[in-house]
Amino acid sequence: MKILNFGSLNIDRTYKVENFVKPGETVSSLSLGTFCGGKGLNQAIACKKAGSKVYMAGKIGSDGAILLSKLKEFNVDLEHVYIDDDELSGHAIIQVEKSGQNSIILYGGTNRTITHEEVDKVLADFDEGDILLLQNEISSMNYIIDKGYDKGMVIALNPSPMNEELLKCDLSKVSYFIMNEIEAAAISGYEDADKAIEELNKKYPDSKIVITLGSEGVKYFDGEKTYQHGIFKVNTIDTTAAGDTFIGYFLGGILEGLKPMEILTMASKASAIAVSRPGASDSIPSKDEVLQSNLILK
């Protein structure tokens, strides 16, 4: 079984600030870091670091060599990454305040120029049972979901950023929803995680549901039972890639055939290590680091 991660490739510029910029305000940043990011790239690297075989599909511009270099560093398969010389790669402007929380502005760039023809070419190389990992930072989402479902692929959706366009997709074709409580509320209509899971199970009875809850940990409904796991104690530096790290290790656990609580423990540890470091993809830990960590639950 393979993982096809069809997603975004961004150049992230991270500005450390005392506090998030307010309307009409101008502030000086404490520092600037340039990182490779995008939920697609981050989750591809997280899947790879978790020990999975992962193929990246997406599109970059003429400025995107740094993105290819980063993915090659981790031996992510790049055969399905297209290059558009007439458009800039996607990028993000990220504010990180002293508490470690972040605020992000995205520019889609080439992530928003993916065509149906390119989707067909990519999916032709994958089979029934392969995992199709998706976020919501690229174009043609509806088409990708439909075509992946038609092939019998296992669709894992991280519905971020949430918007009306995503809600127009046929979400009943999703095998795994992996999302935070805000995204779960937008899809289900309920802010309470238990009620959200109950409603989502009614709407999408064939789907499994993962809801990350920040300081409250995570809940996972596997179609029969709901499991809950807390968070580990760390000094939070930057939460940028926390969710992406969790997703990579969660899917890695699924592929390994681990039990639900084993999967949640592994993914939660990996995410905790990631938030204790600066940056996006650079903060994602290796599997050995996760296995050897002696973190304690809060």
Residues designated as active site: 244
Determine the 3-state secondary structure of 50 from DSSP: coil
* CA distance linking residue 234 with residue 239, whole number of Å: 12
If you count DSSP H runs as helices and E runs as strands, how many of each does the chain have, helices first?
Answer: 10, 13
Question: Distance between CA 292 and CA 191 in Å, rounded?
Answer: 36
- Side chain identity, residue 85: D
C-alpha to C-alpha distance for 44 and 257, rounded to whole angstroms: 19
CB distance 159 to 179 below 8 Å: yes
**Structure token pair of residue 234:** 């760390």
First to last CA, the chain: 35
Q: Considering only CA atoms, which of 228, 260, 266, 236 is closest in space to residue 248?
A: 266
- 231-243 burial, b at 16+ Cβ within 10 Å, e below that, comes to bbebeebbbbbbb
In the chain, beta strands by DSSP E: 3-6, 10-17, 31-37, 54-61, 77-84, 90-97, 102-107, 131-134, 154-157, 176-180, 208-212, 218-221, 226-229
